[in-house]
Chain A
Amino acid sequence: MLRAFVVTVIPGANEDQSDLVRMYHDTYYPFYPYTGYLVYDLAKRSRALMGTEAFDCLDAGQRTAVVEAALSGDDTTARLYRGAMLMAQVSFFAGVYNPDHGCALIDFPGKNNGFSREVLTYPDAWKYLGREVTTDGNPP
């Protein structure tokens, strides 16, 4: 259920990625006590809107509709979902549990040993530099 939620929030995320939903079970984060309620609400809302509690069996459009309905709901539910979506995005895009590999979807390399000059800058940097008004970079 949580995996289906994450790939709804982040289309293109690999549903089979091992650490995809790890943040929801990590007791370090204040969201942890609410994870069960998120799963319960997803099931309940799926049944109400789509006739089945199996949120993870819905297609992408249906899942999106379920999440949108929650965001448009009462303040408490909306806050729960916004928090859950923030958790998904931080965990996935920042490669929190995969620092060596970052996030391939956005070409974030993660941990590295430095980069060559060709990667870091352009060889014809002078073309892009404009007029300088100081001698040492400090303001007058």
Chain B
Amino acid sequence: MDSIQSEVVIIGSGFGAGAPALRLAQAGFQVLVLEKGTEIVPSRDFQQTQDPKYLLRYIKSIRGDNVNFTYAEGLGGGSGFYESVSFRAPTIAFEQMSPTGFRLWPAGVMRASMDPHYETAERMMHVSQIGKDEIPKTGLAFSLLMKRLGYSVDRAPYAVRGCTGLAFCVAGCTAGAKVTVQETYLDPARHAGAQILTDTEAIDIAPLRDVESNDHTLRNIRSMPFRYVVRCRDVRTGEVRTIMAKILILGGGTVGTAKLLLNSHRWLPKLSLHVGKNIAVNGTVKTLGILPEGFIEGDMFTGRSHPGVISYEFLSSRGITLSTAKPLPVDAVSYANIVLAGDTRPHPWWGAPKVELMKLYRRRALVLYALGLTTPTAELHRARSGDVQPRFSLDPQFRDYYKSTCDLLHSIFVRNGAQVVVIKIIDGQGSEYPDLHITTAHMIGSCRMADNVKQGVVDVTGEVFNYPGMYITDGAAIPSSLAVNPYLTILANAERVAEFLANWYTRGAARIVREQMEPRLQVRGGVHGSR
């Protein structure tokens, strides 16, 4: 079996992995990035197509009874396929409490302390607020709906440069307008000496030695022993190799990181019981309506897919943000059966009624969706095969949230004279789910940050409880719903942890000034806190 050694090994290459890869390479550490997906050259590989064969090459999903989790696999992770909208999480997101009364975010992490890292992430991703003259028609239609009811609407910030409105954002931007982690973090990391292996899937992790004893005092990476071994498989050839790391960083995403740790449990018996648990679905609620005759038209098939706007009108009162979206036809027809409310024809979800509705879709359909501060209750369960399946309990609290939010969104349509479209989510074979079914790409928290091992999987510095030298820097570590798209928070947190790691670990040359470390050490409750 082939074996490789690297001072720092990072699993994944998306929003959670790019920052540690770059910062640690820039700090002079030997960095190796392992990515399960394939190398992506946007100009060569991205296509403007709705062909599932292309889309499913990069967009993966796992299905449970009540929930689907969607994520991307490929170099750069979700950054190739996201909608580029770039929000900081609201202050109240960081103030959420668990049902048992503790603060979900660990001590010291709040919006104010995250702002410098948000600023770094925004600068790296070239984020700017969309101009009033750039808002796509569908965004303006949403804005007018809200304006007529006296509700506020703000222009959203994006990681986009020179958008020409191709509308295939979530298939990968063929114009290169969307800023990606590849461009901003991975390419510079390579330039700073990092190596990246694609088509390499991490199978499991084991410690190389007893890592519990004095490892918290190990900071000089030159003298530090190798502490973890990652068993990997080349997904093209099946060849298995082992990779030894002194510092191991897990950045494979909410699903990938949890799956890896769940599959490593027999070698990592002291992992928190919270691995795979406490996943937030970000309160996703989606509705559809048909704008009334005489209203300004939207356009589902031109312009950026996140059409420029967001409303914080209900953030304080209900913990939700509202926006709109522009699903292209493959998503419109494969996600749900859609029927005009009150259509009593015998088969309204196919035949003539469906064609009539689809003819209205481009210019008269409008999606209203909410993201909210819902309690993190979803989980990932490991099957014997090693795959994971999501589970989401539709408890009364979530059902109440879903109904009241749906009612609000429908009322916005109705009060504007728009027609509500009934959405019945369907499975991959066209059958309607009997109960609520949530599909989200915003799942976070499967290995959440916390103040202690009884509440989470990693501490405030991202270090896995009981396993010094192993860190989680992706969405798995984010402990709560955010009520906004999560990528910027994931990236900012990764920058925060990467900054800490680049200063904490040394190559034995410069003396670290303790005062510089003091705030972080205080947050950790001393050198490594009480556990």
Rank and list the top 5 A-B pairs by shortest CB-CB distance, nearest first.
Answer: A114-B164, A130-B147, A86-B430, A94-B50, A82-B430
Name B residues whose Cβ lies closer than 8 Å to a Cβ of A.
Answer: 47-53, 87-91, 129-130, 132-137, 140-141, 143-144, 146-147, 151-157, 164-167, 175, 296, 299, 301-303, 310, 312, 315, 321, 328-330, 332-334, 346-347, 350-352, 354-355, 358-359, 361-363, 426, 429-431, 483-484
In the bound complex, CA of A102 to CA of B301 (Å): 10
Minimal Cβ-Cβ distance residue in B for A81: B430
Specify which of A11, A83, A137 is in contact with B154 (CB 8 Å cutoff): A137
Is A51 part of the contact surface with B, judged by Cβ < 8 Å? Answer: no
B175 touches A114 (CB 8 A): yes
In the bound complex, CA of A109 to CA of B301 (Å): 7
Besides A10-B354, A121-B140, A140-B91, 10 new A-B residue pairs in contact (Cβ under 8 A), listed by A number: A9-B350, A10-B355, A82-B430, A99-B48, A120-B136, A122-B140, A132-B155, A138-B88, A139-B89, A140-B312
B48 touches A110 (CB 8 A): yes
Minimal Cβ-Cβ distance residue in A for B90: A139
Specify which of A12, A107, A114, A137 is in contact with B362 (CB 8 Å cutoff): A107
Mind listing 27 A-B residue pairs with CB under 8 Å?
Answer: A9-B351, A71-B347, A83-B430, A93-B330, A93-B332, A93-B333, A93-B358, A94-B329, A96-B49, A96-B330, A99-B49, A105-B355, A108-B329, A110-B48, A115-B165, A121-B136, A121-B137, A125-B132, A125-B133, A125-B140, A128-B140, A128-B143, A130-B144, A132-B152, A133-B154, A133-B312, A136-B129
Minimal Cβ-Cβ distance residue in A for B359: A106
Specify which of A28, A111, A138 is in contact with B87 (CB 8 Å cutoff): A138
* Shortest CB distance A75–B (Å): 9
Specify which of B129, B130, B334, B351 is in contact with A11 (CB 8 Å cutoff): B351
A86 touches B140 (CB 8 A): no
Specify which of A86, A105, A126, A137 is in contact with B334 (CB 8 Å cutoff): A86
A115 touches B303 (CB 8 A): yes
B166 touches A112 (CB 8 A): yes
B146 touches A130 (CB 8 A): yes
Minimal Cβ-Cβ distance residue in B for A84: B430
- 8 Å CB interface, A17-70 against B: 28-29, 64, 68
A94 touches B165 (CB 8 A): no
B164 touches A90 (CB 8 A): no
* Shortest CB distance A70–B (Å): 11
* Shortest CB distance A135–B (Å): 9
A119 touches B299 (CB 8 A): yes
A139 touches B303 (CB 8 A): no
Contacts of A93 in B (CB 8 A): 329-330, 332-333, 358
Is A14 part of the contact surface with B, judged by Cβ < 8 Å? Answer: no
A132 touches B154 (CB 8 A): yes
Contacts of B146 in A (CB 8 A): 130
B154 touches A134 (CB 8 A): yes
In the bound complex, CA of A137 to CA of B431 (Å): 39
Which of A90, A133, A137 gathers the greatest number of chain B CB atoms within 10 Å? A137
With A83-B429, A131-B153 known as contacts, the answer to whether A89 contacts B350 (CB < 8 A) is yes
Which of B137, B334, B350, B431 gathers the greatest number of chain A CB atoms within 10 Å? B350
In the bound complex, CA of A84 to CA of B296 (Å): 36
A137 touches B155 (CB 8 A): yes
Minimal Cβ-Cβ distance residue in A for B158: A137
Which of B329, B363, B483 gathers the greatest number of chain A CB atoms within 10 Å? B329
In the bound complex, CA of A100 to CA of B242 (Å): 45
B358 touches A105 (CB 8 A): yes
Contacts of A71 in B (CB 8 A): 347
Contacts of B350 in A (CB 8 A): 9-10, 85, 89
Specify which of B137, B156, B429 is in contact with A120 (CB 8 Å cutoff): B137
Specify which of A86, A94, A113, A131 is in contact with B328 (CB 8 Å cutoff): A94
Contacts of A136 in B (CB 8 A): 129, 157
B87 touches A79 (CB 8 A): no
With A64-B351, A110-B48, A119-B302 known as contacts, the answer to whether A137 contacts B157 (CB < 8 A) is yes
A94 touches B89 (CB 8 A): no
* Shortest CB distance B291–A (Å): 12
A103 touches B329 (CB 8 A): yes
Which of B50, B310, B431 gathers the greatest number of chain A CB atoms within 10 Å? B50
With A95-B329, A107-B301 known as contacts, the answer to whether A128 contacts B147 (CB < 8 A) is yes
With A82-B429, A86-B430, A125-B133 known as contacts, the answer to whether A130 contacts B153 (CB < 8 A) is yes
Contacts of B363 in A (CB 8 A): 107
Contacts of B296 in A (CB 8 A): 122, 128
* Shortest CB distance A110–B (Å): 7
Contacts of A131 in B (CB 8 A): 147, 152-153
A121 touches B134 (CB 8 A): yes
In the bound complex, CA of A125 to CA of B296 (Å): 11
In the bound complex, CA of A133 to CA of B347 (Å): 45
* Shortest CB distance A33–B (Å): 13
Minimal Cβ-Cβ distance residue in A for B333: A89
In the bound complex, CA of A112 to CA of B350 (Å): 28
B355 touches A11 (CB 8 A): yes
In the bound complex, CA of A96 to CA of B330 (Å): 8
* Shortest CB distance B129–A (Å): 5
Contacts of A112 in B (CB 8 A): 48, 166-167, 302
In the bound complex, CA of A93 to CA of B426 (Å): 17
* Shortest CB distance A106–B (Å): 5
In the bound complex, CA of A105 to CA of B129 (Å): 35
B362 touches A126 (CB 8 A): no
With A115-B302, A121-B133, A137-B310 known as contacts, the answer to whether A8 contacts B153 (CB < 8 A) is no
In the bound complex, CA of A102 to CA of B302 (Å): 13
In the bound complex, CA of A47 to CA of B130 (Å): 60
Contacts of B332 in A (CB 8 A): 93
In the bound complex, CA of A137 to CA of B315 (Å): 14
A106 touches B155 (CB 8 A): no
In the bound complex, CA of A84 to CA of B431 (Å): 11
With A129-B143, A139-B484 known as contacts, the answer to whether A99 contacts B136 (CB < 8 A) is no
